[in-house]
Structure 1
Amino acid sequence: MSEPQTASAVEEERHASWPELFFDLVVVAGAGLLAHLIEDGDGWSSLFLFAVAFGAFWMIWTCFTAYGNVRGDDARLPTFLVGMAVLSVMVAAVPGIHEGHAQAFAIAYVVGRVAAARPWHGATVVVDLPVIQAFTGVLPWIVSFWVDGDAKYLWWAAGLTIDLLQLLRAREDKLLEGAQERLDHVAERRREQLAAHEERARRDGAEAPAMSARARRRQRRIDRLEKAGRVGRQIPTSIVALRTDNVHLAERFGLFTLILLGEGLIQMLNAASGAEWDRMLVVAWAGAFALIVALWNLAVRHGSAGVALLAHGAIPVRVQWVAHLVTSLALVAVAAVLGVVLAHPARTLEEHEVLVLAGALALYLLVSATVHAVLARRGGGVEDGRRAAWLAGAGVIAPAVVIVARESLSAAAVVCVLAAAALLVSVVDRRARLRLTGARDGRAVPASTP
């Protein structure tokens, strides 16, 4: 059995291409319409459907983003356009997903997964995103074609769960070994097929002249197979392991997160434009804007893969994918409720509105805290441990306060409390980084340094 080869990531730093940026335009529309699943619903079923629909949307975006990341300059615009078309159908189906458009959503998802797998031939393995070439998680979506009602969404969730588990649990060595064995098996069968064709051609040529036309047809078929690289000396002998460009991927994650935060600003602007412009609106606007700025600072400016305060490349790429999904899910939920806050800043938020807003922020901060806690446990140092403590504290205390005191707090007060928690983490981390930088430079930095 041949040994797998490894294709190294692009060494020089590169940035998102124009086709990739054009592809991201569909995310702008998608984030807004998916957020309406939260705004228009008032129960756990709506939150479940939102999480599943967003997960499917994110999975298609991820597959085509990985294509652009790994292929680099060889990535083709038509492939991105196919991805945009698929995501557009999925987004357009969201408003009517309860009234019959769920089938179109599922069909578009399956088509998107098949289209995303086409650029990768059998001799390559995308080791950092193996689900892009696997279809086990797609099967439940196909089954859902014949399922009606809410049970359809359970099949969707099952498919996404299979993909995420495969992403986290698949071992690179086993993945490459299995792919190499399959390639060796296919190559052997094709060599046997070629030998059989050549033997028949010789036998036909040795028989009556009437058989020469049949022999020529078989020879032409052999020539076509050889030209396509399916038989003969052009058969690949080794699996090529394709890896991601980490710097480029970090930029793609950051752009996606920026789009989600931008959706929060859009929700705020739309709501404020139709609200009464009074003092309470000013307070709510200041709190919501501060929350967006704090999340940008944590997730984009000083974060990676959507995780707050995470250095680039600090966690494996496969974990980055999953972390980005969870943090993106939380940020979209936060953005969805900000519009509700600005529309009526003086009123008391409904219980489900407070739970979504506070719970989404808590999810974001606690997931980030968990990542830093794991890094600290694995030797990341005191800095990761402190960040885990700050993020966990803010992710528990502030959401708990607004949930417990919901009936006595206005919508403006709720968002201000949550914004204060996120800002506090940013300020504390900045002071710690300044003190650490001063210590490394041999300078004494007072604790009061801003």
Structure 2
Amino acid sequence: MSDPIIADEPENTRIERHASWAELFFDLVAVAGVAALAHILGSELDLAALGLYTLLFLSFWLSWTTFMLYSNVAAGKTRVIRLMVGMFGLGVMVASVPGVAHSVLGHDGDSRPLTVFAIAYIATRVYGSRSWRRGEVLLDFPVVQYSTGLLPWTVSIWVDGQWKLVLWSVGIGLDLLLILVVSGDKILKQIQSRFTAQATTRRRRRPHARSDGDGAVIHGVSVDPVHFSERLGLFVIIVLGESVVQVIGAAADAHYDVGLLATGIASFVLLAGMFGLSVVFGYAGLPHLRAGRIPARAALGLHCLVTGVVATVAVSLSSVVKHGSDSLPDQERWLLCGAVAAYFALGVVTGVASHSSDLQRTISRIITGIVIPLLLGLLATDAGGRTLVVWMALVVLAHLWFERRLAPVQGRA
């Protein structure tokens, strides 16, 4: 048997394609999991709730990423049944979220929802990681093909109490660490070295054996950038749409008055403004980003943060609608102001990384998008929630106005 061939992905061999109906269907189920996390922050907001919210959000996002990258690379060879099985696994995870929240935050001692969630997560990730064709190594995001981070999750099935969450955190942390330090090119070289060593050993043992020339072929594959950016952008759009639905649901149970109307308008302006910054004046769902300026791995990491922040803003807006004209508790005020500030901080990062803003524009984004929301969180202790939402909406509108005025053409994705 001959040595394996390292085959790079040929350039300019892919035609531009768009997300399929099956992929959009899959995205909707994944976003349903993000929406279900409102059960966690919608009850009692503390560090435990924030930690659980972050942990479960990352588990949904990693599961979605595994299948999203598979369908991106497989293109026309994507197996719809594989996406459907992944959707079912995500559905089980979604259904388990209320029980997980009640078990952990309500301290009722019932660990069954946590076990169900863990099993569904493990099965979904493992099944997704086995989607790749033999010999393919994803250069941009190789962690989706390996299951190292799932080992602590597997151990957690036989552990009771808070140790389950500790093991989940270790597993997610391992995956995030691998995302940062593992290089697809390095893995490709390691596989090449291993196969070459094995072939050399076989030749030494059977020096007179005839090579059949049918050695294993190892492909280094990369994402389709157009389809990749579209999927990231669509996911952000669906999260924003689900955020609007959450606000509408909260308004349906509130007392109808002028204040509720003002809150609804301001909330819609805030979310629609985020759509404008992330999609119209951004790229891949990331505000102020330009095409081809950052690696796919960095775009995925920023996408995780942006979608998490947007989902958090939705929970905060729903809370404001429920509180009416009352001032928000300190934790909820900081959640709203901190989430908006985090969104604009990520916009500053993407703007600087993609060289889409000069020093003056970066400073103005920091002052209006980060400093003002944080000052409101610090000083507006007596301000009503509705007033805070109006302020946040004005901040977003100001950013949209500057983007339209300074970059009417270049900023459009």
Does TM-score exceed 0.5, indicating one fold? Answer: yes
Which residue of 2 is the match for residue 129 of structure 1?
Answer: 141
Q: What residue number does 1:283 align with?
A: 262
Provide the secondary structure at the position in 1 that maps to 2:328: coil
Larger Rg: 1
Counterpart position of 1:103: 115
- Say if 2:342 is the partner of 1:363: yes
Change beyond 3 A, Cα 1:34–1:5: same
SS of 2:8 mapped into structure 1: strand
What is the CA–CA distance in structure 1 between the aligned matches of 2:309 and 2:185, rounded to whole Å?
A: 33
Residue type of the partner of 2:125?
R
The 3 A distance-change label for structure 1 pair 85 and 186 is: farther
Q: Structure 1, unaligned stretches of length 5 or more? A: 199-230, 438-450
Q: 2:9 aligns with which of 7, 31, 50?
A: 7
Q: CA deviation at 1:407?
A: 2.7
Go from structure 1 to structure 2 and tell me whether the alpha carbon gap of 1:415 and 1:192 turns closer, same or farther (over 3 Å shift). farther
Match of 1:160 in 2: 172
Instruction: Tell me which residue corresponds to 1:75.
Output: 78
Residue 313 (structure 1) shift: 2.4
Across the two proteins, how many residue pairs are aligned to each other? 397
Query: Is 2:30 the counterpart of 1:27?
Result: yes
From 126, 132, 153, the equivalent of 1:141 is 153
Contact kept in structure 2, 1:247 and 1:312, CA below 8 Å = no
CA contact (8 A) 2:142 2:183 kept: no
Conserved? CA contact 1:8–1:243, under 8 Å: no
Contact 1:103 1:145 in 2 (8 A): yes
AA aligned opposite 2:94? V
Match of 1:412 in 2: 386
Output aligned runs, 1:169-208, within 5 Å. Answer: 169-185=181-197
Uncovered stretches (5+) of structure 2, i.e. residues with no partner: 104-109
Cα RMSD (Å) of the superposition?
A: 2.5
Task: Quote how far apart the aligned CAs of 1:40 are.
Answer: 1.9
TM-score, normalised via structure 1 length: 0.82
Does residue 396 (structure 1) correspond to residue 370 (structure 2)? The answer is yes
1:400–1:251 Cα change, 3 Å: same
Give me the TM-score of the superposition, normalised by structure 2: 0.89
* Contact kept? 2:5, 2:215, Cα under 8 Å: no
Query: Which one of the candidate residues 241, 266, 272 is aligned to 2:245?
Result: 266
Contact persistence 2:73–2:223 (CA under 8 A): yes
Whether the aligned pair in 1 keeps the contact of 2:141 and 2:184 (CA below 8 Å) is no
- Other-structure match for 2:106: none
What does residue 86 of structure 1 align with? 89
Higher-helix-fraction structure: 1
> 1:137 and 1:280 mapped to 2: Cα distance?
48
Do the aligned partners of residues 403 and 335 (structure 1) sit closer, same or farther apart at CA in structure 2, a change above 3 Å counting? same
Distance 1:143 1:436, change over 3 A: closer
Question: Post-superposition shift, 1:168?
Answer: 2.2
Structure 1 pair 388–134 and aligned structure 2 pair: CA distance change class (3 A): farther
User: Does residue 300 of structure 2 align to residue 321 of structure 1?
Assistant: yes
TM-superposed deviation, 1:164: 1.9
CA distance, structure 2, for counterparts of residue 134 and residue 427 of structure 1: 45
Offset of residue 394 of structure 1: 2.8
RCO higher in structure (CA 8 A, sep ≥6): 2
Q: Which amino acid aligns with 2:118?
A: A
